[in-house]
């Protein structure tokens, strides 16, 4: 009798992500089922992330095509995984890691590897007649957080159920839109890559003031908090930080954070310093333990980077992006290590997203501290919230 869990075929194709750039969709087929995963891509990437495979042909999608990644899946990866049992996630991921043979997955590409890794998980769940989040729970034991908070850049509704969180977020967002158009112009509430508003603020405090006012006027104080993703590496220049058109030291930047935390109701600050500055992350955390100090570019879902953060007591929260490391098994290992060391996990989208809703199942399966999926006004972001809402029902 044929083993229905054996991989019969693997296919890949180019699709477009939410920025209109090419990305990869991988489909794994077994006897009776198929599972597909569409790989997201980040604009802001840490230097220690696993690398995507891009074609580099400037005459085609500005060099961003992924035809070589498609070929990697349909040739080497297909051959290596054919007849493997999709239930053996660790074995599959180890085969992929060894097949690539580089420390940053640059030969086959993290996009090719992750696409195959998660597509295998999806088809295994189907073959076992389980919801994806139910199947994921069986792959690793990770202690859940005490509650789930849903994050998008600057507001975090705190609620015991998905529907209340979405309603509260919507209320604040609509007030915020009105405030933005009143302060800047009727045409100023534009949307960025992740669906959030983009405003021409002159000072780092301005968006926070608008958010605080919107939360206060909505009557949701203490029910909606503020989070910022600083991405400090993006404005780090020769040992200093370019803030409000001034070059300042890390010490001065730390003072800015102290004042902001005093004036606004923060739940978290993500990447507050340059991605190699474990020491100043630690200083911020030791001074403000009640605020989550989150590593993203600092840690890039990488176990070695997380170990360094643990050793330096740099963070109490970590962003989890599967495509930063390249396989599901490695992602779960980082999540488990974080939780075992008192560090909360926030499962996150990328700026170049697809309509794939896998991260909603990943967040729910392990009861993480937060899901960061963007503003709920575009299809690729709404897919995650709709899936989370569906699971909760």
Residue among 25, 194, 333, 353 flagged as catalytic: 194
CA separation for the pair 339, 144 (Å, rounded): 8
CB 360 within 8 A of CB 336: no
The three-state secondary structure class of 288 is coil
Q: Give yes or no: 223 in active site.
A: no
Residue among 53, 321, 339, 372 flagged as catalytic: 321
CB 392 within 8 A of CB 56: no
The three-state secondary structure class of 5 is coil
Query: Pairing state of beta strands 317-320 and 344-348?
Result: parallel
Looking at residue 225, what DSSP letter applies?
A: E
CA separation for the pair 155, 276 (Å, rounded): 27
CB 295 within 8 A of CB 319: yes
CB 367 within 8 A of CB 144: yes
- Minimal CA–CA distance to 193: which of 24, 53, 381? 381
Q: Give yes or no: 140 in active site.
A: no
Mark residue 232 as left, alpha or beta (left: phi above 0; alpha: psi -120 to 50; beta: remaining).
Answer: alpha
Return the beta strands (E) in the chain as ranges.
9-16, 22-29, 34-38, 149-151, 155-157, 190-191, 197-198, 224-229, 236-237, 240-243, 246-248, 266-270, 292-295, 317-320, 344-348, 370-372
CA separation for the pair 315, 289 (Å, rounded): 10
List residues with catalytic annotation.
194, 321
């Amino acid at each position: 009798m044929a083993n229905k869990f054996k991989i019969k075929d693997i296919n890949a194709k180019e699709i477009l992500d939410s920025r209109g750039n090419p990305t990869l969709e991988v489909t794994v087929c077994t006897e009776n089922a198929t599972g597909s995963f569409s790989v997201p891509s980040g604009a802001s990437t840490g230097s220690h992330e696993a690398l995507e495979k891009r074609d580099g042909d400037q005459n085609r999608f500005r060099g961003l095509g992924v035809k070589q990644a498609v070929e990697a899946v349909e040739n080497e990866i297909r051959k290596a995984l054919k007849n493997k049992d999709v239930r053996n996630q660790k074995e599959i991921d180890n085969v992929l890691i060894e097949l690539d043979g580089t420390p940053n997955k640059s030969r086959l590409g993290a996009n090719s590897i992750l696409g195959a890794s998660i597509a295998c998980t999806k088809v295994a769940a189907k073959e076992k007649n389980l919801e994806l989040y139910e199947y994921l729970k069986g792959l690793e034991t990770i202690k859940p957080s005490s509650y789930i908070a849903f994050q998008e850049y600057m507001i975090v509704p705190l609620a015991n159920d998905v529907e209340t969180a979405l309603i509260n977020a919507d209320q604040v967002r609509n007030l915020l839109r009105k405030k933005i158009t009143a302060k800047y112009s009727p045409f100023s509430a534009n949307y960025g890559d992740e669906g959030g508003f983009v405003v021409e603020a002159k000072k780092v405090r301005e968006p926070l003031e608008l958010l605080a006012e919107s939360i206060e006027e909505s009557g949701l104080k203490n029910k909606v908090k503020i989070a910022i993703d600083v991405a400090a590496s993006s404005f780090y220049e020769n040992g200093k930080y370019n803030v409000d058109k001034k070059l300042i030291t890390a010490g001065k930047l730390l003072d800015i954070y102290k004042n902001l935390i005093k004036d606004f109701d923060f739940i978290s600050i993500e990447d507050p310093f340059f991605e190699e500055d474990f020491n100043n992350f630690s200083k911020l955390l030791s001074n403000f333990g009640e605020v989550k100090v989150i590593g993203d570019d600092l840690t890039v879902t990488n176990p070695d980077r997380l170990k360094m953060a643990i050793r330096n007591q740099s963070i109490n929260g970590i962003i989890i992006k599967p495509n930063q490391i390249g396989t599901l098994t490695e992602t779960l290992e980082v999540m488990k290590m974080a939780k075992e060391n008192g560090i909360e996990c926030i499962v996150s989208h990328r700026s170049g997203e697809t309509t794939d809703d896998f991260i909603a199942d990943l967040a729910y399966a392990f009861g993480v501290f937060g899901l960061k999926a963007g503003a709920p006004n575009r299809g690729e972001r709404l897919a995650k919230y709709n899936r989370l809402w569906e699971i909760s029902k």
